[in-house]
Homo-oligomer: A and B are copies of this chain.
Amino acid sequence: MRYLICFSYKGTNYHGWQIQPNEVTVQSILTSSLSLVLRQEVELVGAGRTDAGVHAKRMFAHFDFDDEIVDFESLSNKLNSLLPSDISVFGIERVADDFHARFDAKSRTYRYYISRRKNPFLGDLSAKMTFPLDVDRMNDAAMALFDYMDFTSFSKVHTDVKTNNCKIMRAEWMYEEDCLVFTIQADRFLRNMVRAIVGTMLEVGKGKLSVEGFRKIIEQKNRCLAGTSAPAEGLFLCDVEY
């Protein structure tokens, strides 16, 4: 029987989502906790990956388990007691046996938080940038994203994906209290894509790159032309839409 688990994590102390040898990752911690509570080795298939230091407000993974789980709330509570304070399970539900956490996701929404002044409460939950930024120009660049499909320029060079095409559904900068927040929703994301887009848009916001120049970077499909990736601590996977 297949189950879907929804959870949240602060990525600061993890080497990203994906299990890796000799690294503490969210997937490794969650897999071992779940296997312990269910008394059976389970494997988690995540909706996607997040890099080291990146956070997730609502992330999903599916797993197969031989028995029927009756009390989902009790299972969530047991997991939350066992998991460290920076990983929290919201809920578990039964799904169809052919449901796939990654392939069945229609889109993902990421948000990038830039705190515009020193904030004692945001700690590792935003990137602090106090230099002047032209947000209107950054929104012009955000609008430009809708005109393209191939985002090779914002992808890690060596990845095994067949296509670098993504369908952008939302891309917008706005203020939220002390933070400048970039929200981006797409059917899929390439590795490092959001941080590379944000880093390049920051060049636009600083006046070092024109919106036309931003378009040219996308059109030339060359990662070397794009700006430096924005720091991991500002990035949140906010939701996965099924």
Contacts and interface: CB of A to CB of B under 8 A. Distances in A.
Contacts of A121: 8, 10, 55, 57, 125
Contact of A123 (B85, B90, B119): B85
Interface in A135-192: none
Contacts of A21: none
A46 B223 CA distance: 53
Interface of A is mostly: mixed
A85 B89 CA distance: 29
A118 B80 CA distance: 7
A87 interface: yes
B80 A120 contact: no
A120 B90 contact: no
A71 to B, nearest CB: 16
A214 interface: no
A111 to B, nearest CB: 13
A112 interface: no
Q: Which 10 A-B pairs have the closest CB atoms?
A: A88-B118, A10-B120, A86-B120, A80-B118, A88-B120, A9-B120, A8-B120, A10-B121, A121-B125, A88-B119
